[in-house]
Amino acid sequence: MADSNLFGKLEQLELIKKALDHARIGVVITDQSLEDNPIVYTNQGFMDMTGYSSEEILGKNCRFLQGKQTDKKQVAKIRNGLKNKEPITVRLKNVKKDGTLFWNELNIDPLFIEDKLYFVGFQKDITEQKEYEKLLEDSLTEISTLSTPIVPIRNGISAMPLIGNLTEERFDSVVSTLTDILTASKDDYLIIDLSGLAEVNEHTADQIFKLHHLLKLIGTELIITGIKPALAMKMNQLDASFASLKTYLNVKDAVTVLPVI
């Protein structure tokens, strides 16, 4: 009976090992009691992900995957988590054996077996996901830029319609675009049409106020058109100096009144 139980345990261990090798993620186990917390187990998934053999992995600290582009703050987070014996989740840019960079989503958990501490690390290659995220970010930036075009009206006058929501990120993009273009064109007037704004709140009014002062610094006067009653009330509540802004019902009315340069 004892031999049967022993065989059963060995069979279970072999099954677990095969399952871990079959997993599509990397798994390593490190031994905290040994110097430099080396790897004492690696599955096939980790070898496939990194390009290293088990002989090159076992006995080493996991830092051999780090490169020049590995975020030191994330490395410090790992170090602190290990020191405090806490679960850790980070995303690192690591390096494979052939020098290829890849994004590694790393989860580390402490594991106590008979009062002995090990750390189990699970690695997932999320390079493709990060590339999609970057493409999405670039696309949103491009859309934001296209949604705030600056249109020359006539000599010395340009117009920019604001459509949708004026988020803080979009406002920063608008400011960057404006300062670059207006510094080069040296327009005397910039007409900003607000009739297409989807939402108006105190934050929107505050951003317009900041933009007004910024344009004064580069020698361009801000003209506001398309103010809805809700925005007018918010602007009035925010600061009395908004009364100095020139406002018109629409762009056509503003262009008709503004002097020809």
| Tens-place pLDDT, residues 126-142 | 999 998 888 877 766 65
Output the DSSP codes for 36-56: T--EEEE-HHHHHHH---HHH
Instruction: Report whether pLDDT(27) > 60.
Output: yes
In which band, very low, low, confident or very high, does the pLDDT at 259 lie, cut at 50, 70 and 90? confident
Instruction: Give Cα separations from 66 to 41, 61, 70, 134, 167 (angstroms).
Output: 19, 11, 6, 22, 37
Question: What span, in angstroms and rounded, lies between the C-alpha atoms of 64 and 109?
Answer: 19
Range list of β-strands (E), 80-145: 88-95, 101-113, 116-125
Question: What span, in angstroms and rounded, lies between the C-alpha atoms of 261 and 255?
Answer: 12
Tell the burial category of 68 from Cβ atoms under 10 Å away from its Cβ (0-12, 13-18, 19+). exposed
The H or E element containing residue 189 is strand 189-197
Instruction: Give Cα separations from 215 to 151, 155, 157, 259 (angstroms).
Output: 17, 18, 13, 18
Instruction: Report whether pLDDT(146) > 60.
Output: no
Q: Which two tokens stand for residue 253?
A: 């009315």
- Range of lowest pLDDT (67-76, 151-160, 239-248): 239-248
**pTM of the predicted model as reported, rounded to 2 decimal places:** 0.56
